Structure 1
Amino acid sequence: RGVLVVEMVQIDGEGVGSEAIFALRHNREFGPVITMGVGGVDTELFGEACKKGLSVVSASAALLEPEELLAAFKSTLAYRRLAGQTRTKQRLVEDAELVKLLAGLKAIAAELGNDGGAEGWTVTELEMNPFVASRGRLVALDGLLKFRKRACLPLPRPIGSLEPMLKPSSLGIIGVSGKGMNMGRIILNNALAAGFERSRAYIVRPNATEIDGVRCVPSIKDLPERVDLFIVAVGAEQVPGLMEELVEHDKAIGVILIPGGMGEKEGGEVHEARLKSALLKARELNRPLVANGGNCLGIYSKPGRYHTIFIPTNKLVLRPDRHSNVAYLSQSGAFMISRLSKLSWLTPRYAVSTGNQADLTIPDFVKYLARDPEVKTFAIYSEGFKDADGLELAKAVREVVAQGRDVVFYKAGRTAEGMSATSGHTASLAGDYDVCAAVLEQAGAIVARSFDEYLDVLRISALMGNKEWKGRRLAALSNAGYESVGISDALRGEGWDLRLTKFGAASRERLQAALVKGKLDSLVDVRNPLDLTPMADDETHEEAIRAFLADEEVDLVLCATVPLTARMATLGEDAPEEQSIRSPGSLVNRLARVMKEASKPVVVSIDSGYLYDPMARAFEEAGLPTFRSADAAVRALGLYVESKLRR
């Protein structure tokens, strides 16, 4: 037994929320992360009761400077209390004191917060809880420190090998049937249909000379050259031996591993261990070999003129004449193709299903594809990261966003059940979702919270990302009263805060003239949202949109239409011309002409059923993001513009 003598600290502003927590911990995926917010015995209580960001926030100590860390902390109730943003107006500490503390934590993180590199120590947890204010300074009353020996990280992949892998001049494949249309043969046919030259393709198949006009060789060692791309479409049990042969004979640069069962299935760990051993040997021999997969759906590369996604082309149509400014990177191949099938106007420049990421990872592809100026949007779906790979992705995202491009991100495995499902699906270890979302948002990514939100924001980024995103002032119209109300109700939400602009005299005069011309002036007043009623025709819609775009007080435009009205040409091309979208006077064709001149973003909503699917497709093929409800359109606009304004 003993006695502990400590200083008695005078606490300023003592009461609920006056104690703060500042903690540095090592996150397996994202490296050193600082968590800060309400401390003491209230931490968990406030965490459960408060909205996101009010109780505690997390931020990357590796990515953010102390002033940026402070900006993240300012969203919390703890900061408001310390800064005197309460009824008493009593400021307990100055921002400079907080910056000093955060700079100290960042310095510790830089020295002791990462794995990899030389031997040493890694701080896994440094928690100071609670901090209190005393005489204008922060004083820690309690603390906890945990550390361990620094762990090794996987060897970096040779990113330069992605150039020949994604733009190959030669291709090999194993697993092609000479009789039926199996997975390997579908991949071969898709690659040839995408434009790959038969003369530079080879099939590894004994006892065959040619399949579909492509030369066959009996084994890997008989390949006449080291191919830029080799596709493995056989069972998982054969993969390790094939990779060992490719390394031994130096016959490939990039490998796509299609088969599953090498990590996501019980018993597959043996196959995966041999695979990784072969890759390690390739690195030790300084070979350029890299592998994508396993358990992946393949790759589509428009610049590389190949398509190895084993889906029949009549079930997933990728036309070369569509919008092609997106790089799609997804651990789940099924998620990737299901999203692409919903975006009929889009053929991605690249679509990469990474699967288990036994070797190449999503950050590797982002780093390489950032060199392609034609890629304007990175659409990413992730279920988990290798050690420190989340931080690598955040660094890559930050560089991409700094170039004026967009990253739309969805993270699966946000709940305990979700984590379990991702582990079973792609053998990935799902990490702390809140940390993942926070760090990637801080890097500049748009982090979607649902599948629909992901697709909605992707629509806007791909079709309208090149427009001028200057502010939050929205001008909207509808021909239905309920939509006008719904638009107003959706202006604010978690992560966005739009404003309905007030039209100036010139705009009001122009809008009034449009109403008079459309014989609506006795029914409609000029306001925002502008309720045109079902009596408005296509021309009145166009005139109103043009007035919105001409107004200097308008940043964003929404054209919401319920297309059942007899006054508009909204049906498919089989309808009589006066009712059809093929009419030159239809709203589809009118807005297509408008957008050729417009510098401001415009989105469309069509809130009706399947008869109006052709109209929605026509709008998007004309470059206008189209939603099937006005509130979804407002939400997506809000989320996207906020991401632009944060930069």
Structure 2
Amino acid sequence: MSIQSLKPIFEAENIAIVGASKDPGKAAHQIQKRMIKQGFKGRLFPVNPREKEILGLPCYPSVADIKERLDLIVICVPARAVLSVMRQAADREDIKGAVIISAGFAETGIPQQAELQQEIVEVARAAKIRVFGPNCIGVINTRISLNTTFSPGCDALPGDIGYFTQSGALGGSLIMLALDQPYPLGYSKWAHVGNMCDVNNLEILEYYGQDPEVKVIAGYMEGVPNGRELMILADRITRKKPVLLLKVGRTDIGSKATFSHTGTLSGSDKIYDAAFAQSGIVRVNTVDELIYSAKALSMAPYPAGNRVCIITEAGGPGIIAMDELGSDKSVRLAPVTEKTQEAIKEALPPMAMVCKPNGYIDMTAAAMEKEHMDTLRLVLDDPNVDSAILISLPPTFLPAEKLAQEIAGVIKEYKKPVMVCFMKGEPMLAARAYLEEAGIPTFDTPAQASRALINMTKAAARLDFQGSGFSDVGKAAGKAHQLVEGAAKEMRNLLEPEAIKLLSDYGLRMYPHFLVNSREEAVKAAKEIGFPVVLKIVSPQIIHKSEYKGVRLNLKNEEEVAGSYDSLVGHIKTAAPEAEIKGVLAAPFVTEGIEVIVGMIRDPQFGPVVMFGSGGIMVEVFQDVSFRVAPFSKEAALQMIKETKISQVLKGIRGEEPKDIDSLANLLAKIGDVAVDNPMISEMDLNPVLVLEKGVTVLDARVIIGE
């Protein structure tokens, strides 16, 4: 159904509460009471065959007995009665939505209850009724005081944040935390999806993305029904408005054995991190971080860049802010101009530390209102500063509220965000409330202020993004390669010569090689390749050759090649008698260049995911890796490389010439294309890949075929 089918629910004018009750201990009573108290703009119709009126409103025996038009029904009856109510709703032909508060369906794990839920879905779909739940508390639209929840503290205070949640209790806590700020933080919409038998969290995300009343989207997710759909949707939305997500839990990559380094390293949480960043979602780690980041994005102007200046009147809190900013590469300390530095020195007491390091200003506790104002104005006026953090714990001789009034005037002169940290406590509460009422976000701690600014900077960098995002790159897969199809039919992995052929056909530079089956052929191949060479066993049963000592390196002449061929084949026949030997691969022994690893694994939620990192046998120890969901652009691949420590080595250190990072990025993007085109491939492991001063060379290729 169109996403616009949710609008009649969020904008409902006439609502029936089925299972209405006079008992304050019942959810239906609390829902009706809250709607009346908060001034719902539409009409409520309580439904209970045993009551004449509830909370001053006439009661109806059934949904069928209500003669007026209905937009939405809120169902609060036992699970066994819900299907009957839905059939009555379907017969009316005017109801557009249902919020099923009732529990006891698929979430119980009982097959009969899951079947009952499915019957409800079928009735609803036939009648084109959208369903929230079951086992949910529904929706809030603060503009019309629509509120189907019974969670405590979920009052309606208009604002511009849109919340969605897979947990009713956690979702209610988000509102309570937001309203418990020094000046209550309002919101526009709120939705809990419950069992997601119909409406799911991705639909809410899309609806908020189109809703002009929602400026910032904040969500709590426990699972993703379709990771690639989430990425395509978020890639589009985050170019227009920020999306903050608190994602908890872990996905299961699969119970089968993992054959590649990539599979070993690709914990599902790392893939979520990569997928979210790739599609513009700002991932947060705690409930508090979700709220204070949403507050910053809701209140403050967005920064034009990532250059941050810290202004503090106390050293300790300032260092905490420095540590937090230093933990994330999305921001950096602002390179304040010398002119600004000199002006700040003149404005502050002699003991102040100005730009040591650059971008950090410790005004000291001697700074009064004027020093705060002058320093802040000079910093915000500097063209090299995009945003600022102001940290203060005003002493008793500097009234906090008076200081707040003075700095608020300065902040409002500029279209640059300022995160104000007046440390949490009763003496600071009035000052913070004044600032937040003026639209200036405040924070309990320096770490909170810094993290909020980091998240704001990430979100702002994505707005009006014109580059290639996930939804722009290679939506349609090409034709699967014949080698992959053939191996899949035979239920085996690709042999290394086949893997080399596959990658070569995709335009990747592979090493010269020969598949030989005798010592004479091995010697002939080595002479053609040129010494030194390497010999590698080729067997469908041997995935990791090093574990079976299935490789002979640095063979410098014909005698070494001949002897090594015999010893290699003989050893494998003894060490792995069940292994079918298809031959021996002869290839050049290469030592120049920087070793890296490139891999791919197929994730249950996101599909093919490409990994890059430091190569060699120690990759699993150091875990210097980054991930991207395929397909992705060359630009995304360059960023992927930049996220690793090995990227510094590739740039050239200690007099070494820089390596061909551009060709490496092409390789990464191309491996993504291979994975998208060939869904039968479950894992790929290219380790090592040598990055040379010109070009890259894949020295070992492993391609695993899945079920």
Q: Give how far 1:360 is off.
A: 0.4
Q: Which residues of 2 match residues 315-394 of structure 1 at below 5 A? A: 315-320=153-158, 324-344=159-179, 345-386=184-225, 388=226, 390-394=227-231
Q: Counterpart in 2 of 1:161?
A: 5
CA, structure 1 residues 373+258, in 2 after alignment: closer, same or farther (shift >3 Å)? Answer: same
From 187, 195, 216, the counterpart of 2:31:
187
Q: Is the 8 A contact 2:38 2:156 kept in 1?
A: no
Instruction: Provide the C-alpha distance between the structure 2 equivalents of 1:503 and 1:341, rounded to a whole number of angstroms.
Output: 40
Q: Which residues of 2 match residues 44-123 of structure 1 at below 5 A? A: none
Q: Give the 3-state SS of the residue equivalent to 2:106 in structure 1.
A: coil
Task: For 1:397, give the aligned amino acid.
Answer: A
Q: Is the 8 A contact 1:239 1:275 kept in 2?
A: no
Q: Give how far 1:523 is off.
A: 5.2
Q: Which residues of 2 match residues 255-334 of structure 1 at below 5 A? A: 255-267=98-110, 269-283=111-125, 285=126, 287-312=127-152, 315-320=153-158, 324-334=159-169
Structure number with bigger Rg: 2
Q: Give how far 1:624 is off.
A: 2.2
Task: For 1:341, give the aligned amino acid.
Answer: M
From 373, 388, 407, the counterpart of 2:243:
407
Q: Counterpart in 2 of 1:111?
A: none
Q: Is the 8 A contact 2:330 2:457 kept in 1?
A: no
Instruction: Provide the C-alpha distance between the structure 1 equivalents of 2:354 and 2:223, rounded to a whole number of angstroms.
Output: 53
CA, structure 1 residues 337+539, in 2 after alignment: closer, same or farther (shift >3 Å)? Answer: farther
Q: Give how far 1:539 is off.
A: 2.8
Matched, 1:454 2:290: yes
Q: Give the 3-state SS of the residue equivalent to 2:96 in structure 1.
A: strand
Q: Give how far 1:215 is off.
A: 2.5
Q: Counterpart in 2 of 1:616?
A: 432
Q: Deviations over 1:133-182 (max 9, x none)?
A: xxxxxxxxxxxxxxxxxxxxxxxx45332111110121110122135453
Matched, 1:499 2:339: no
The TM-score, its normalising length taken from structure 2, stands at: 0.59
Task: For 2:388, give the aligned amino acid.
Answer: V
Q: Give the 3-state SS of the residue equivalent to 2:71 in structure 1.
A: strand
From 480, 483, 494, the counterpart of 2:317:
483
Q: Is the 8 A contact 2:331 2:457 kept in 1?
A: no
Q: Give the 3-state SS of the residue equivalent to 1:296 in structure 2.
A: coil
Q: Counterpart in 1 of 2:81?
A: 238
C-alpha RMSD of the superposition: 2.5
Matched, 1:632 2:458: no
Q: Is the 8 A contact 1:592 1:623 kept in 2?
A: no
CA, structure 1 residues 368+593, in 2 after alignment: closer, same or farther (shift >3 Å)? Answer: same
Instruction: Provide the C-alpha distance between the structure 2 equivalents of 1:392 and 1:459, rounded to a whole number of angstroms.
Output: 27
Task: For 1:602, give the aligned amino acid.
Answer: V
Q: Give how far 1:625 is off.
A: 2.4
- Please list every run of 5 or more consecutive structure 1 residues that lacks an aligned counterpart in the other structure: 1-156, 417-430, 571-580
Q: Give the 3-state SS of the residue equivalent to 2:460 in structure 1.
A: helix
Task: For 2:194, give the aligned amino acid.
Answer: G
Q: Counterpart in 2 of 1:127?
A: none
Q: Counterpart in 1 of 2:360?
A: 529
Instruction: Provide the C-alpha distance between the structure 1 equivalents of 2:84 and 2:25, rounded to a whole number of angstroms.
Output: 25
Instruction: Provide the C-alpha distance between the structure 2 equivalents of 1:392 and 1:523, rounded to a whole number of angstroms.
Output: 53
Q: Counterpart in 1 of 2:398?
A: 568
CA, structure 1 residues 181+369, in 2 after alignment: closer, same or farther (shift >3 Å)? Answer: same
Q: Give how far 1:302 is off.
A: 2.1
CA, structure 1 residues 472+600, in 2 after alignment: closer, same or farther (shift >3 Å)? Answer: same
CA, structure 1 residues 281+263, in 2 after alignment: closer, same or farther (shift >3 Å)? Answer: closer
Q: Is the 8 A contact 2:9 2:97 kept in 1?
A: yes
CA, structure 1 residues 454+551, in 2 after alignment: closer, same or farther (shift >3 Å)? Answer: same
Instruction: Provide the C-alpha distance between the structure 2 equivalents of 1:614 and 1:338, rounded to a whole number of angstroms.
Output: 24
Q: Is the 8 A contact 2:99 2:137 kept in 1?
A: no
Matched, 1:549 2:380: yes
Q: Give the 3-state SS of the residue equivalent to 1:368 in structure 2.
A: helix
Q: Give the 3-state SS of the residue equivalent to 1:490 in structure 2.
A: helix
Q: Give how far 1:219 is off.
A: 1.0
Task: For 2:29, give the aligned amino acid.
Answer: R
Give the total of aligned pairs.
443
Q: Deviations over 1:560-607 (max 9, x none)?
A: 1123x123212xxxxxxxxxx2xxxx2222233233322011101233
Which sits farther off after the overlay, 450-459 or 219-228?
450-459
Task: For 1:307, give the aligned amino acid.
Answer: N
Task: For 2:364, give the aligned amino acid.
Answer: T
The TM-score, its normalising length taken from structure 1, stands at: 0.64
Q: Give the 3-state SS of the residue equivalent to 2:97 in structure 1.
A: strand
Q: Percent identity?
A: 27
Instruction: Provide the C-alpha distance between the structure 2 equivalents of 1:415 and 1:395, rounded to a whole number of angstroms.
Output: 20
From 431, 447, 458, the counterpart of 1:642:
458
Q: Is the 8 A contact 1:538 1:569 kept in 2?
A: no
Instruction: Provide the C-alpha distance between the structure 2 equivalents of 1:595 and 1:438, rounded to a whole number of angstroms.
Output: 35
Instruction: Provide the C-alpha distance between the structure 2 equivalents of 1:433 and 1:219, rounded to a whole number of angstroms.
Output: 48
